Amino acid sequence: MNKFDLKNKTAIITGGAQGFGLDIAKKFLDYGAKVRLWDIDEKELKKVKNKINNLNLEIDVVDVANYKVVIDTVDTISKSSKIDILINNAGITGPTAELWNYNVDDWKKIIDINLHGTFYCCKAVAPLMIKNNYGRIVNIASVSGKDGNANASAYSSAKAGVIGLTKSLGKELAQYNIAVNAVTPAGAKTRILDQMSKEHVQRMLSKVPRGRFLEVQELSSLVSWLSSEENSFSTASVFDISGGRSTY
């Protein structure tokens, strides 16, 4: 496996207590970065902190859907550290149902966490990156944001919004040596699948030409490159990692 030099870089990874976020954190630590894991689940964060036991790992209990908590946490971090990398990974799929049967409160919660949370984190961190004339932002979107998944209109809409946000912000920050990109994974073997019905999971898998789910380390490898100085030109772009489900 390739290794990327992230020494002297500080990264914030949201939704970092499990799944994609945790695997990305492990890679970043291995590559020499200082990592701050954000998650709403304090118990899981503490478990991760104790298990990894690395001086370069810090944890913050953050609800990304609460802008005040996000900006206050960023302000605290900025007093003692720069922020070089932001990985917007926090997200939920929510229940599966036809749009006309979708619960309004569930819809709002999914949009708040997946889309508004990404916006809040980018809004809070971007000025610091502009000041330093350097930054790497990677937004974890989804193939469903490109294709749309039946019975997952809220999640698909939120992730489509993340893609649009990425394209806009990438253009706005390009002159400051800040790369903003999105990745669009297909389904992966993480706990997020537990939120979906078995029928929905099987329908997702049937669309992937590779015939299997994404492995978390495959996504974290792509994110690592996008977060490194080696990614010196690509920005405002969407990197597909769907096993052939989407070809654009």
- Residues annotated as catalytic (active site), given as ranges: 155
Which residue, among 191, 179, 92, 194, has the nearest Cα to 144 in the 3D structure? 92
- As a dihedral over the C-alpha atoms of residue 159, residue 162, residue 166, residue 167, rounded to 10 degrees, the angle is 70
Q: What is the C-alpha separation between 81 and 131, in angstroms, rounded? A: 13
Taking CA atoms, 34 is separated from 31, 155, 220, in Å, by: 9, 31, 16
The number of helix segments (H) and strand segments (E) in the chain equals 9, 7
Element (H, E) at 10: strand 10-14
CA 132 to chain CA mean position, Å: 22
Residue 220 CA to residue 24 CA, distance in Å, equals 5
Strand (E) positions, 109-219?
Answer: 135-140, 178-185
Instruction: For residue 139, report the phi and psi dihedrals to the nearest 5 degrees.
Output: -100, 125
